[in-house]
């Protein structure tokens, strides 16, 4: 007899979201749904959402007199005339993560600064803001690293083994203006053994 044909396995994607995952989520979630999750759904890809978020309960939106901070977006100024925007750390559940971790940004920053003190002060202050941007950059790298740890832990803990074919890393506070191209690039990624 002839063995029945089996369908190739459906690629599995880890969608990783890092940083201040709830900063502008009310404004960006519709675009994430349409241009990321909707695209993956239409392509019939299996995916799991992972979130590493830094806990910040309010965020300065503009320093008095301009300072070194960016002005708040118009929708924030219209909705909130104060100098800080209240943030809801629980809004990240709208992303439907299978695994998430919320870390206090100030505690993470203090630990990073202790570990990176020599590195941070040896580098020039490229943004000319008394290393504020450098500290934020290091916190973002820390969040990316923790996100990678969450994905690896999920793979290692799955019964029978679980391997993600691709990891799509995003910031939820970014507006997506067009669909992600992962479904069209996935065959190339899957064929690249060096990338595995």
- How confident is the model over 183-196, as pLDDT tens digits? 999 999 888 877 66
Least confident of 39-48, 120-129, 144-153: 120-129
* SS3 call for 78: helix
The average pLDDT across 62-70 equals 42
Has residue 68 got a pLDDT over 60? no
Dihedral through CA 150, CA 153, CA 159, CA 161, nearest 10? 100
- Asked whether the beta carbons of 10 and 162 are under 8 A apart, the reply is no
Residues 138-166 have pLDDT tens digits of: 889 999 999 999 999 999 987 767 889 99
Predicted pLDDT at 45 = 94
For residue 39, what pLDDT is reported? 96
Under the banding of pLDDT at 50, 70 and 90, the label for residue 94 is confident
**Inter-residue contact 20 to 91 (CB < 8 Å):** no
More confident residue, 145 or 92: 145
- Answer yes or no: are the C-beta atoms of 27 and 175 closer than 8 Å: yes
Query: Sign of the C-alpha dihedral, residues 156, 160, 161, 164?
Result: negative
Is the pLDDT reported for residue 120 higher than 80? Answer: no
Mean pLDDT of the chain: 79
Q: How far is CA 46 from CA 9, 138, 166, in A?
A: 10, 31, 11
**Proportion of the chain above pLDDT 90, given as a percent:** 33
- Which comes out higher in pLDDT, residue 18 or 160? 18
Task: Give the number of C-alpha atoms closer than 13 A to the C-alpha of residue 112, restricted to the C-beta side.
Answer: 20
Q: What is the pTM of this model?
A: 0.78
The pair phi, psi for residue 188, each rounded to 5°, is: -65, -40
pLDDT confidence tier of residue 114, bands split at 50, 70 and 90:
confident
- For position 22, what pLDDT does the model report? 61
Q: What is the pLDDT of residue 24?
A: 66
């Amino acid at each position: 007899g002839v063995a029945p044909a089996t369908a190739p396995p459906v690629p599995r994607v880890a969608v990783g979201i890092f940083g201040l995952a709830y900063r502008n989520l009310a404004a960006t979630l519709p675009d994430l749904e349409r241009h990321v999750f909707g695209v993956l759904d239409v392509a019939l890809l299996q995916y799991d959402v992972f979130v590493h978020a830094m806990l910040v309960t309010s965020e300065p939106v503009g320093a008095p007199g301009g300072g070194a901070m960016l002005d708040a977006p118009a929708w924030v100024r219209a909705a909130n005339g104060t100098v800080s925007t209240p943030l809801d750390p629980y809004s990240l559940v709208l992303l439907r993560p299978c695994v998430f971790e919320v870390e206090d940004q100030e505690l993470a920053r203090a630990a990073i600064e202790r570990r990176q003190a020599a590195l941070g002060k040896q580098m020039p202050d490229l943004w000319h803001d008394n290393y504020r941007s450098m500290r934020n950059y290091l916190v973002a790298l820390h969040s990316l690293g923790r996100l990678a740890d969450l994905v690896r832990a999920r793979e290692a803990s799955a019964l029978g083994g679980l391997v993600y074919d691709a990891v799509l890393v995003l910031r939820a506070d970014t507006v997506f203006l067009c669909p992600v191209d992962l479904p069209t690039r996935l065959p190339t990624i899957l064929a690249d053994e060096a990338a595995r």
